């Protein structure tokens, strides 16, 4: 270690510890008289029980009331009692990260879920960082293959683009993420499963991701039974891991399922700390935390993080507060349509309601022209579908509708893809251009 670094390390060592005591436990919160600390600092609550002996429960400072420190634990409140010592660390949550984590499944604190020890030689990084300076972000000018025809062909994504996947429950969000994780040309996948059922975590890893996908992925899981703070930290931990590899010059694919459950967890914390409910019960801090989280991905001077965030919309309402806020922050959105899923079209991507804001800038002119033509044909058929189905449309009345009727089954066939099918972007684009050029009779 260099002399300058050594001096910095020595100067940062605390020569004494700061303590406080638990004075009150209310709902999800712990109130403590001391220690001196700041918002976001981690504290250790010392607990002594007959069953487990001495334990240290980690908690985070989330607010203050007069001179009382308000804490929220990362685990259960069950064994915390009045008078427990609260030790301040004067530091935010940090995690260990490195290439040795690839292929592992971690919790929100960056620890292996299977109980194994972390490998040696990992670097320490904070879970919360500022987004890159806007002027240091290189423009996105390179496409990224994801291996899904409907996306590569009709909604082309660039390296460093951030896209939302909007859908109600049970329409195929996790399945689509699994397809992207297995087929993408990105160097590494970082997958955050936030608020999932415990059963679904293993199912996603074994069925949707598979051994091939896991070999090039790091999975962070925070199940629905865990405290709200752990669910939020799962999202920030996954983002911090993706940032670490981006800074190493890699092209990283970050997938988060779902950002809606992150917002719900923040709503729990906000209401518990006394924030007033705003839109549909969501507190103001929810709408403050979303851009801080989502803006951290994208490009910087070293590498890129291409991000897919799923948004669980209540009752398929695409204009509910979280969906509307996220859509305004991201660089595109993919809408999964329940009506298409009910007809057996998978992935159930509604290309008429979906958009990639960067496609026109990163795809070649022939590709863009073909995609626009196919979109026009599909829109024409969709607009006239009711008339066609009841027999009110007479063939020959409109050349555009006749062309759309002829091409509709071909377009639908193009948009369908088997769960285990891997199709290159080149093949997807060639098929799309061929369909556009030879579609009309």
**What whole-number distance in Å separates Cα of residue 189 and Cα of residue 157?**
16
User: 86 with 52: CB under 8 angstroms?
Assistant: no
pLDDT for residue 154: 96
**Predicted confidence (pLDDT) at residue 8 exceeds the cutoff of 60:** no
The pTM score is 0.90
What does the pLDDT look like over 69-100, one tens digit per residue?
999 998 888 888 889 999 999 889 999 999 99
Contacts of residue 214, defined as CB under 8 A and 6 or more positions apart, other chains included, come to 103, 205
User: 69 with 35: CB under 8 angstroms?
Assistant: yes
Q: What is the CA radius of gyration of the chain?
A: 25
User: 329 with 270: CB under 8 angstroms?
Assistant: no
Domains of the chain, by residue range, sit at: 18-92, 95-363, 366-437
* Residue whose C-alpha is closest to residue 175's, from 58, 348, 425, 323: 348
Name the 3-class secondary structure at 86.
strand
Could you say which DSSP state residue 315 is in? G
What share of the chain has pLDDT > 70, as a percent? 94
| CATH level 2 (architecture), domain 18-92 | Beta Barrel (2.40)
Q: CATH says 95-363 is which class?
A: alpha beta
What does the pLDDT look like over 350-380, one tens digit per residue?
999 999 999 999 999 999 999 999 999 999 9
**What whole-number distance in Å separates Cα of residue 126 and Cα of residue 232?**
14
Same fold, 95-363 and 366-437: no
Contacts of residue 370, defined as CB under 8 A and 6 or more positions apart, other chains included, come to 429, 432, 433, 435, 436, 437
Name the 3-class secondary structure at 326.
helix
Record: fold of 366-437: Substrate Binding Domain Of Dnak; Chain:A; Domain 2 (1.20.1270)
Could you say which DSSP state residue 349 is in? B
């Amino acid at each position: 270690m260099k002399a300058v670094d050594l001096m910095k390390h020595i100067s940062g060592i605390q020569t004494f510890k700061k303590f406080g005591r638990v004075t009150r436990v209310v709902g999800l919160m712990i109130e403590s008289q001391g220690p001196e600390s700041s918002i976001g600092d981690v504290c250790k609550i010392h607990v002594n029980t007959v069953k487990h002996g001495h334990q240290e429960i980690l908690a985070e400072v989330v607010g203050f009331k007069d001179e009382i420190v308000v804490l929220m634990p990362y685990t259960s409140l069950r064994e915390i009692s009045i008078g427990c010592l609260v030790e301040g660390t004067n530091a935010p949550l940090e995690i260990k990260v490195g290439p040795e984590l690839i292929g592992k499944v971690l919790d929100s604190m960056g620890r292996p879920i299977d109980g194994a020890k972390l490998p040696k030689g990992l670097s320490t990084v904070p879970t919360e960082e500022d987004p890159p300076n806007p002027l240091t972000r290189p423009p996105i000018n390179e496409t990224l293959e994801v291996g899904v025809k409907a996306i590569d062909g009709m909604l082309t994504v660039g390296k460093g683009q951030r896209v939302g996947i909007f859908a109600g429950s049970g329409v195929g969000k996790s399945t689509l993420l699994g397809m992207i994780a297995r087929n993408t040309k990105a160097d590494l996948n970082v997958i955050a499963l936030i608020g999932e059922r415990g059963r679904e975590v293993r199912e996603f890893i074994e069925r949707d991701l598979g051994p091939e996908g896991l070999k090039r992925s790091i999975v962070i899981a925070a199940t629905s039974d865990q405290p709200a703070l752990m669910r939020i930290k799962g999202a920030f931990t996954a983002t911090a891991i993706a940032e670490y590899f981006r800074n190493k010059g890699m092209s990283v694919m970050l997938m988060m399922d779902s950002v809606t459950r992150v917002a719900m967890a923040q709503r729990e914390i906000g209401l518990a700390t006394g924030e007033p409910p705003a839109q549909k019960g969501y507190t103001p801090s929810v709408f403050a935390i979303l851009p801080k989280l989502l803006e951290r991905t994208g490009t910087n001077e070293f590498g890129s993080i291409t991000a897919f965030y799923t948004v669980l919309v209540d009752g398929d309402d695409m204009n509910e507060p979280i969906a509307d806020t996220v859509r305004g922050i991201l660089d595109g959105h993919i809408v999964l349509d329940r009506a298409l899923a009910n007809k057996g079209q998978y992935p159930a991507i509604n290309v008429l309601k979906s958009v990639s804001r960067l496609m026109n800038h990163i795809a070649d002119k022939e590709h863009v022209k073909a995609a626009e033509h196919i979109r026009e044909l599909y829109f024409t058929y969709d607009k006239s579908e009711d008339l066609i189905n009841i027999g009110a449309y007479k063939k020959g009345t409109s050349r555009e509708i006749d062309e759309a009727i002829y091409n509709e089954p071909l377009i639908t066939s193009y948009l369908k893809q088997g769960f285990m099918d891997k199709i290159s972007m080149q093949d997807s684009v060639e098929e799309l251009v061929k369909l556009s050029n030879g579609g009309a009779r």
